[in-house]
Structure 1
Amino acid sequence: MTKHHKPIWDRGQQIDGEMMTYTIGDDWQQDQRLVEVDIRGSIAHVSGLIHAGLLPGEVGANIQKGLADLLESWRRGEWNVEAQDEDVHSAIERRLIDRIGEDGGRMHLGRSRNDQVAVDMRLWLRRASEDVAQAMMNLIKACGAIADRDGHCTIPGYTHLRRAMPSTLWDWIGAHEAAFSEDLEDLDRAATRWSRCPLGSGSGYGIPLPLDREFVAEELGFVGPEVPVTAVQHQRGRAELAYASVLESIALDIGKLAADLWLYSTGEFGFVKLPVAFTTGSSLMPQKRNPDLIELLRGNARQVVADRAALLAVVQDLPSGYHRDFQLIKPPLFRAHDRTLASVRILARFLPELEFQTEVLNEASSDPELQATAKALTAAAQGQSFRQAYRETSLGGSRD
């Protein structure tokens, strides 16, 4: 059983160690990625305390220097959140007190871990969404490059996975590019969910001190404080769910493109040749080059759907106020982010290396059956009933 440091809420009572281990779970591991934003939020909070006259400037400056030093030492790999720590907040506060003395404990004046983790998550969401947005722009650019290079090639358009009408590679990749562009727009709209600062809401019902919430919000780059203070815990999980929903949409769009490429690269289709550098081999069959990347892009899309569902399951049907359940938001959110970002980045590298087989595409597109719709429409445009023209050009029971 893990031996834990004395929790910051300790009052000298006996606490069951197994209970502590269970309630902490893997949260200390999840919190590794919150170290930087937690320190950033704490530095701004201390500035707010100084601004409100609740902390002497000299003491506050010492705390902020200690926090900055902790951040630098963390970046150098000298420490991290440990299993003995309850969470990132406790890990930082304990180390700060060890570094500068009891003044480090004054940092928590006017703050609860409830609003502290809420601001951590919103700062993390801001940075995470910016990373995904940049990767999406690169992916959209890669789609555009295919359109510029090979867009003139004809390709059969499919319904029910049967050849239906002639199309072009420009239209095919353009549809995928449009979907990714809409995802990027959705990401921008979702950012309003994490644009307001939770600090000053305390455990959920405000802090009975003259805190300047506007000042702290501005320090951290938010558009303003979350109002009313009760909205912070009431809406816990909403920003994370909004982000996960966009990630789900991105992942599903990636999965659709992967499914197309998976089919088009088979010997039965032969529309596109996959670059050797992005395929794997078989341990038994020496001739095989396998599309593992495409298959895992497709599979990870489904995993992101599951991650979002797991996140939703955590927050649904909870009454108002803070609940420890919120701790369980982090794992599915972080998984969805990591999977989606990795998929977007590798796909943007992969697409420019595809070799579309022009002759095969043109031959497949020259199938006379693909002209049936155009033939019927031409006859109807010349005055014939469309249904009569449809029947006359029917090729034996094809269905829309």
Structure 2
Amino acid sequence: MAKLWGGRFSKNTDAFAEGFHSSISFDSRLYKEDITGSIAHAKMLGKQGIIEAHEAEKIVQGLEGILADIEAGKVHFSPHDEDIHMNIERLLIDRIGDAGKRLHTGRSRNDQVALDFRMYMKKENTAVIREIANLIQVLLQIARENLDTIIPAYTHLQKAQPSTLAHYMMAYAQMFSRDIERFQAAYGHADSMPLGSGALCTTTYPLDREYVAQQLGFHEITPNSLDAVSDRDFALEFLSAASICMMHLSRFCEEMILWSSGEFAFVSMDDAFSTGSSIMPQKKNPDMAELIRGKTGRVYGSLMTLLTVMKGLPLAYNKDMQEDKECTFDAADTLLSCLKVFTGMIRTAVFKKENLYATAGKGFTNATDAADYLVKKGMPFRDAHAVLGRIVVYCEGKGQGISDLTLEELKEFSDVFEEDVYENVSLEACVSKRTLPGGPARESVLAHIHSLEKFLSGLDAE
């Protein structure tokens, strides 16, 4: 079977090289974008009088029939025709004859694949934003239910200060909200219609690019044909956003893995998101969280793959760019599956409030508040810091906490201490008095929740 581009060739492609060259094994997932783009292109060709109106109509009907058959599982693609674009064009010609040969008028596979890929990435960005929004909704619900659930907060993995589970959940919710903004930006940069750029320098046909953009739901057309066919920064932006989002998921998973261990015992994963051991009957392993943590490196690899592919390419299109899709498709699939699994895992997790509270009371998490107590009584902060440092050493020797010391013991370190110190260094006071915006106090967290609820409602309105 002759290649559709084979007019100047006198011999067939080497059999092994043909399989090496073919991309149909992975770009077949672009079939809907390819057909939708071709329908818009055919309608434009007919509208502009570049082909006869009846031919354009015949092409559109043929493409619609191919789309229906593909979705019904009746079409089998051939590696001989290399990619999804040539496969569909071959099918069209076989079905409607010479009219099908007119479809490719005024376009190249270069701007055709750029169109398909941009359409696909718009769809993937939208899907990812939706999944992240679902996750944030779950985190907001957990936060609302745990405004007064006191937990230990850490720096350097050492107990630092008391916080709340709500404050903790909102930290990740805020990270994920920024991820949404990054995917929105990636969507925006993919939202330029490249068809009409041709192979690299447009065409002499009187194409109506704005009409095609309108038909396909693009915000604008690409302003430079060389750039339109030769860059994949819109995919790189998606991969960058995906890598950052996976990093956030991985950090969260790392904490859930630690928290579910016997050493922490802060959370219990639902059986539906845990696995057992083939030899140790007591084990309940947080495998879903571990897998997400592991798959983060896979998405990072996809970003590095495409950065490396693109870094040395001269204008305009080069065949290297066929390597843009497998890594991007895999990253998108991986991210979406991780978001879905993580959302289910965190929604069903059971937090052990008693253990969280008990641990928050250890490790001198109220030391800063005790120092601040002295400062508010008039002592310079550095002096107060030194006093509390000595108190901590004393407490460690006795195996006690600051609140366990008698007032007489505290006064041995400073006469500034009074009976009201105890109410100022309780875990509840340490949290409730941190009312600054962004803090763990109930009213501050509620304000943050309201802010992110407004952010999510804005997504629904778009």
2:239 & 2:4 partners in 1: Cα distance?
32
Give TM-score scaled by structure 2 length: 0.82
Aligned to 1:84: 80
Counterpart pick for 1:117 among 113, 125, 150 = 113
Pairwise CA distance, 1:151: 3.4
Pairwise CA distance, 1:148: 1.6
Which amino acid is 1:197 matched to? Answer: M
Which amino acid is 1:179 matched to? Answer: M
Aligned to 1:37: 33
Aligned to 2:104: 108
Pairwise CA distance, 1:21: 2.5
Counterpart pick for 1:53 among 44, 49, 55 = 49
Pairwise CA distance, 1:335: 0.8
Which amino acid is 1:60 matched to? Answer: A
Question: In the TM superposition, what whole-angstrom CA distance separates every residue of 1:65-106 from its partner, at most 9, and x where no partner exists?
Answer: 000000000000011433232100110011111111121111
Question: In the TM superposition, what whole-angstrom CA distance separates every residue of 1:185-207 from its partner, at most 9, and x where no partner exists?
Answer: 11112212111100000001111
Which amino acid is 1:170 matched to? Answer: A
1:265 & 1:202 partners in 2: Cα distance?
56
Aligned to 1:384: 379
Question: Which runs of 5 or more residues in structure 2 are unaligned?
Answer: 397-462
Q: Confirm or deny: 8 A CA contact 1:150 1:356 kept in the other structure.
A: no
SS of the residue corresponding to residue 137 of structure 1 reads helix
Aligned to 1:62: 58
Aligned to 1:241: 236
Counterpart pick for 1:22 among 1, 20, 23 = 20
Counterpart pick for 1:317 among 312, 323, 331 = 312
Q: Confirm or deny: 8 A CA contact 2:159 2:363 kept in the other structure.
A: no
1:187 & 1:139 partners in 2: Cα distance?
15
Q: Confirm or deny: 8 A CA contact 1:96 1:104 kept in the other structure.
A: yes
Aligned to 1:141: 137
RMSD, aligned α-carbons: 1.5
Tell me whether 1:209 sits opposite 2:214 in the alignment: no
2:80 & 2:50 partners in 1: Cα distance?
32
2:363 & 2:326 partners in 1: Cα distance?
53
Which amino acid is 1:201 matched to? Answer: S
1:131 & 1:339 partners in 2: Cα distance?
13
SS of the residue corresponding to residue 157 of structure 1 reads strand
Aligned to 1:161: 157
Pairwise CA distance, 1:396: 4.4
Which amino acid is 1:345 matched to? Answer: K
SS of the residue corresponding to residue 223 of structure 2 reads coil
Which amino acid is 1:67 matched to? Answer: L
Specify whether residues 43 and 276 from structure 1 end up closer, same or farther in structure 2 by C-alpha distance, changes over 3 A only.
Answer: same
1:244 & 1:221 partners in 2: Cα distance?
23
Which amino acid is 1:266 matched to? Answer: S
Question: In the TM superposition, what whole-angstrom CA distance separates every residue of 1:1-57 from its partner, at most 9, and x where no partner exists?
Answer: xxxx53211024113313322222xx2111121000000000000111112110111
Q: Percent identity?
A: 34
Q: Confirm or deny: 8 A CA contact 2:197 2:225 kept in the other structure.
A: yes
Aligned to 1:129: 125
Tell me whether 1:193 sits opposite 2:193 in the alignment: no
Which amino acid is 2:314 matched to? Answer: P
Question: In the TM superposition, what whole-angstrom CA distance separates every residue of 1:243-283 from its partner, at most 9, and x where no partner exists?
Answer: 11111111111111101100000000000011112111111
Tell me whether 1:261 sits opposite 2:259 in the alignment: no
SS of the residue corresponding to residue 79 of structure 2 reads coil
Q: Confirm or deny: 8 A CA contact 1:31 1:81 kept in the other structure.
A: no
Give the structure with higher Rg (CA).
2
Pairwise CA distance, 1:209: 1.1
1:100 & 1:220 partners in 2: Cα distance?
24
Q: Confirm or deny: 8 A CA contact 2:275 2:284 kept in the other structure.
A: yes
Q: Confirm or deny: 8 A CA contact 1:142 1:352 kept in the other structure.
A: yes
SS of the residue corresponding to residue 39 of structure 1 reads helix
Which amino acid is 1:188 matched to? Answer: Q
Q: Confirm or deny: 8 A CA contact 1:44 1:216 kept in the other structure.
A: yes
Give TM-score scaled by structure 1 length: 0.95
Question: Which runs of 5 or more residues in structure 1 are unaligned?
Answer: none
> How many positions carry a matched residue from both structures?
391
